[in-house]
Amino acid sequence: MRSKSLLALPALLPTLAVAQAATPKPDSGDTAWMLTATMLVLLMTIPGLALFYGGMVRAKNLLSVLMQCFAITALVTVLWVVYGYSVAFDTTGMAAGTTNLHSFVGGFGRAMLAGLAPGSLYNTIPEAVFVMFQMTFAIITPALIVGAIAERMKFSALLVFTGLWFTFVYLPIAHMVWSGPGSFLGDLGVLDFAGGTVVHINAGIAGLVGCLVIGKRRGYPTTPMPPHNLGYTLIGASMLWLGWFGFNAGSAVAANGSAGMAMLVTQIATAAAAIGWTVVEWITHRRPSVLGIASGAVAGLVAITPAAGTCGPGGALVLGLLSGVICFFCATRLKRYFGYDDSLDVFGVHAVAGIVGALLTGPLAAPALGGFGTVTEPGMQLWIQFKGVAFTVVYSAVLSYAIFKGIAVTMGLRVDEEQEQVGLDIALHEERAYNLS
């Protein structure tokens, strides 16, 4: 797991020089896999997530969603290089068991990727590849939030939000979980193999807060707002499924047994969740739906994410089925009951499956329950996982609220009524997705 490892390379060099005269070289197998995994994770956002979301909105807003995902990819890449990687992964001042400012946030020592050279290593892979791999995670997380505020947010406001949220929410949480010894949540013992907490709970909670601050789409829930192209949605879900192997198996940061097992349990949990959602839907709504099976699969992918490095095949089956069933009720019942307009169910799928997965990661890591972790007391680990989830929920909710509210009172979050009526494609981009005739 990546949390063990950001080596202070210069400090190690003398030792290595004594042990073996040659300079350390990257492992070609590990490097080849991580190059591939990085591209798979990028594929999850563009076009995977973009199509998954794009198919669910009305035809007049398709381009706006694609544009949001694509622009976030570009913006976060730039911010990641300038200071993001440093704030997330600079380990200066950190020591195992010590809680200080650097347990919560990294410094600017690696700003502009200072010190990065072709020969820099992170474990057994070039650090450049690690920088890229982690960048793709930073990209997809704010892109996930797009689903909650779809069809009504100003593009300019979204860009400002992305920059602020990436800086004040994503980077600190990523640092607290993944930056190694001395990191706040890492030292608590929270298990998060590939980002259930950092990516999915974080984005899901921000999505819920965002849809509450920005308000419902005009006409919701009385006006029909059916998905305009579920074919896109299924293609997008399929790309997410495929790309997720890079996300989960890539989080081993090596081509090894842990990566192989992560791939296997990812497939198992995803299939189980797709079946879980579909069966419950078939029983309660009398029809199995394309949107349902795709949503179930994504719920399973989210749920297995934190557990992918530690749970066994049996645990993955249970985790998948549970997440599919629970997310079905959250997306179809909970939202209607409370009346919030989380347009594409970022909370109902990502936050909920993220929480189910993050909690169960604890007990399912125990060898007694078929896991491959070092957990000996499932109950105790469940409590540690709960603390990690609770901290992330509160942190993300408070900071996301402040950022959304700040933008709302300064530049405004929403397009005006007429623009919303016409559709964001024409109103904001002066283009339309479909010119048929």
Binding residues vs other proteins (CB under 8 A)? 221, 224-227, 285, 287, 289, 291-292, 295, 331-333, 335-336, 345
CA distances from 63 to 398, 425, 433 (A): 31, 6, 6
Shortest Å distance, C-beta 227 to other proteins: 6
- At residue 301's C-alpha, the angle toward residues 295 and 303, to 5°, is 100
Looking at beta carbons only, is 126 or 204 nearer to other proteins? 204
Q: Pick from 244, 146, 132, 142: which is nearest to 202 by CA? A: 142
Looking at beta carbons only, is 152 or 335 nearer to other proteins? 335
Task: Note whether 51 and 235 are within 8 A (CB).
Answer: yes
Shortest Å distance, C-beta 348 to other proteins: 8
Looking at beta carbons only, is 328 or 372 nearer to other proteins? 328
Please name the residues in contact with 277: beta carbons below 8 A apart, sequence gap of 6 or more: 292, 293, 295, 296, 299, 324, 325, 327, 328
Looking at beta carbons only, is 155 or 220 nearer to other proteins? 220
Question: Residue 382: what residue type?
Answer: L
Shortest Å distance, C-beta 157 to other proteins: 26
CA distances from 152 to 58, 237, 289 (A): 12, 23, 27
Shortest Å distance, C-beta 332 to other proteins: 3
Shortest Å distance, C-beta 349 to other proteins: 9
Looking at beta carbons only, is 97 or 226 nearer to other proteins? 226
Please name the residues in contact with 131: beta carbons below 8 A apart, sequence gap of 6 or more: 80, 85, 113, 116
The alpha carbon of residue 137 and the mean position of all alpha carbons in its chain are separated, in whole angstroms, by: 6
Looking at beta carbons only, is 136 or 295 nearer to other proteins? 295
Task: Note whether 251 and 308 are within 8 A (CB).
Answer: yes
Looking at beta carbons only, is 105 or 274 nearer to other proteins? 274
Shortest Å distance, C-beta 282 to other proteins: 12
Paired with 125 in beta bridges are 122
User: Largest alpha-carbon pair distance within the chain?
Assistant: 74
Looking at beta carbons only, is 290 or 384 nearer to other proteins? 290
Shortest Å distance, C-beta 283 to other proteins: 14
Shortest Å distance, C-beta 273 to other proteins: 15
Task: Note whether 76 and 138 are within 8 A (CB).
Answer: yes
Residue 399 CA to residue 92 CA, distance in Å, equals 25
